[in-house]
Amino acid sequence: MHKKRIRTLHTIIILLIIITIISLTAAGAMGALYVSKVREVSRLQREKEQLIAEQALPVLSVDVESSKTGDLDPGVEDQDMESAAGIAAAGEDVELNLDDASIAQLIQSKEAEVEQSIKDRMKELVTSEDGSPLKMLRSFFPENLIYSFEDEYVFAPVLDNVNKHSLLDENFEKTEDGLMQYVENGTVTSHTGIDVSKYQGSIDWEAVREDGIEYAFIRLGIRGYESGKIVLDEFYDANMKGANSAGVKAGVYFFTQAVTVEEAKEEAEFVIQNLAGYDVACPIVFDVERISGGKGRADQLTQEQRTDITIAFCEAIKAAGYTPMIYGNVVCFTRLLDMTRLNDYEKWYAFYDDYMYMPYEVSCWQFTEKGNVDGIPNNVDLNISFKVW
């Protein structure tokens, strides 16, 4: 943890140096442009004086005494006096007197103003209620997906050829009950759901539906991350029957540890066989999470291998007449999978915060693992989807 804090401090220092260099460069460019404009004004002023001298233009004058005699119409004398004063002011030479020291002082003032503005923004991001160095970095580098991985910060580029969503940050709202919503023009357009497994225990699905839950992703099974054995979730049957009976739309997910395309197809076949007899309106999800600590049998797969495995599963599900979906977090969608090859499949994104940090197109966002829903005795994952199935 101490090592990570040191690296965080180093990252912030480097960021400050980069921003300072950028601000100095910008201020220098502004200063050079300003000097150029001053010189241009001086040159034009000299040309004007020379033109006046060459053409011997008459000098504008105002006979103040005659204006007092009443020769002019009532009110006109005041207007003429103001016009004359305006013309005189417009034609008056302005001496700029900007030497090198004055210009340098101006540039330093602008540099200090820019630097202070940046520091204020950084302080606001880090010291806010939900602030962190990571959130600060994300604010300053929108062209990257930034996350912590094995005690280091990773700056993954946002890929141009991966489909992007059109959701607006300001449209996400959290209710007093802790539910996330997406609101457009005063109307809630998102849909609330959960995902469950044996860890939620026995569920009262009627109570779940009455609490406003529209759909549920139910764990069908897993492949053991050490043994490689495929196992059916012991609460799968009860959960599917309960959700179907209560009118809660159901989808399923399978936690993969396949290390070959053949094993991925085997997992898909296992899933398809166990869907028989149930109403499955929502997608069939391939959970590609990585086991922490390098303990999983699939943890050493290359990005290409894992992507091949994911495509094999999804295509088998699609061929069986179901909608495939891929579940993952920011690590999955930047490091584990080649997202440029997965545009054809729906995504379910896990990120636990009050903002959805993901530019890529997703159908569903799992925003907390500590939700409370009537009819479920333990904490449960809460999701919002941006479509219906």
In the chain, domain spans: 2-140, 162-385
Residues 250, 153: Cα–Cα separation, whole Å: 37
Question: CA 149 → CA 53, 139, 290, 292, 366, distances in Å?
Answer: 75, 19, 12, 10, 20
pLDDT at residue 82 tops 50: no
What integer pLDDT is reported at residue 100 of this predicted model? 72
DSSP 264-314: HHHHHHHHHHTTTTS---SPEEEE-PPPGGG-STTTT--HHHHHHHHHHHH
CA distance from start to end of the chain: 43
Q: Which residue has the higher pLDDT, 47 or 163?
A: 163
Q: pLDDT grade, residue 375 (50/70/90)?
A: very high
CA pair distance 50, 52, nearest whole angstrom: 5
Mean per-residue pLDDT for 316-320? 98
**Mean pLDDT, residues 216-243 taken together:** 97
What pLDDT score was predicted for residue 87?
36
Torsion angle in degrees (nearest 10) through CA of 170, 175, 180, 183: -50
Q: Is the pLDDT of residue 333 over 90?
A: yes
Average pLDDT over the chain, rounded to an integer: 82
Mean pLDDT within 13-25? 63
- Most confident listed range (110-119, 126-135, 148-157): 148-157
Q: For residue 105, what are its two tokens?
A: 């002082």
Indicate whether 104 pLDDT > 70.
yes
Q: What pLDDT score does 155 carry?
A: 94
Closest CA to 137 of 301, 320, 7: 7
- The confidence score (pLDDT) of residue 36 equals 59
Given this model, what pLDDT does residue 338 score?
Answer: 98
Confidence class for position 151, pLDDT limits 50, 70, 90? confident
Q: What is the CATH number of domain 162-385?
A: 3.20.20.80
Q: Which amino acid is at 75?
A: G
Q: What is the pLDDT of residue 294?
A: 72
- Does the pLDDT value for residue 214 go beyond 70? yes
pLDDT score of 352 more than 50: yes
Per-residue confidence (pLDDT) for residue 363, from 0 to 100? 98
Long-range contacts of 160-168 (CB under 8 A, 24+ apart): 161/340, 162/339, 162/340, 162/343, 162/360, 162/361, 163/343, 163/360, 163/361, 164/359, 164/360, 164/361, 165/358, 165/359, 165/360, 165/361, 165/362, 165/386, 167/356, 167/386
According to the model, what pLDDT value does residue 105 have?
Answer: 79
Nearest to 251 by CA among 341, 327, 332: 327
Check whether 374 has a pLDDT greater than 90.
Answer: yes
pTM value is: 0.71
Confidence band, pLDDT 50/70/90 cuts, at residue 79: very low
Question: Could you tell me which residue, 165 or 72, shows the higher pLDDT?
Answer: 165
Distance CA 139, CA 352 (A): 17
Going by C-alpha positions, the residue among 295, 228, 294 that lies closest to residue 256 is 228
Using the CB atoms, write b or e for 302-320: b if 16+ within 10 Å.
eeeebbbbbbbbbbbbeee
Please check whether residue 313 is in contact with residue 256, taking contact to mean a CB–CB distance below 8 angstroms.
Answer: yes
Tokens (6 digits) for 194: 């959960």
Encode pLDDT of 236-259 as tens digits: 999 999 999 999 999 999 999 999
The pLDDT of residue 381 is 98
Decide if 181 contacts 173 (C-beta within 8 A).
Answer: yes
Among the ranges given (128-137, 164-173, 304-313), the one the predictor scored with the smallest mean pLDDT:
128-137
State the DSSP string of 154-205: EEEEPPTTS-B----GGGEEE-TTS-EEEEETTEE--EEEEEE-GGG-S--H
d(CA 107, CA 347): 49
Q: What is the mean pLDDT of residues 88-113?
A: 64
pLDDT-wise least confident of 41-45, 109-113, 293-297, 343-347: 41-45
pLDDT band per the 50, 70, 90 thresholds, residue 128: low
Count Cβ atoms below 10 Å from residue 216 Cβ, excluding itself.
28
Range in 113-127, 241-255, 358-372 the model is least confident about: 113-127
Rg of the chain over all Cα atoms, to the nearest angstrom? 34
Question: Can you tell me whether residue 146 is helix, strand or coil?
Answer: strand
Query: Does residue 14 surpass a pLDDT of 70?
Result: no
Instruction: Read off the pLDDT band of 114 (50, 70, 90).
Output: confident
Give, as one character, the DSSP assignment of residue 359: -
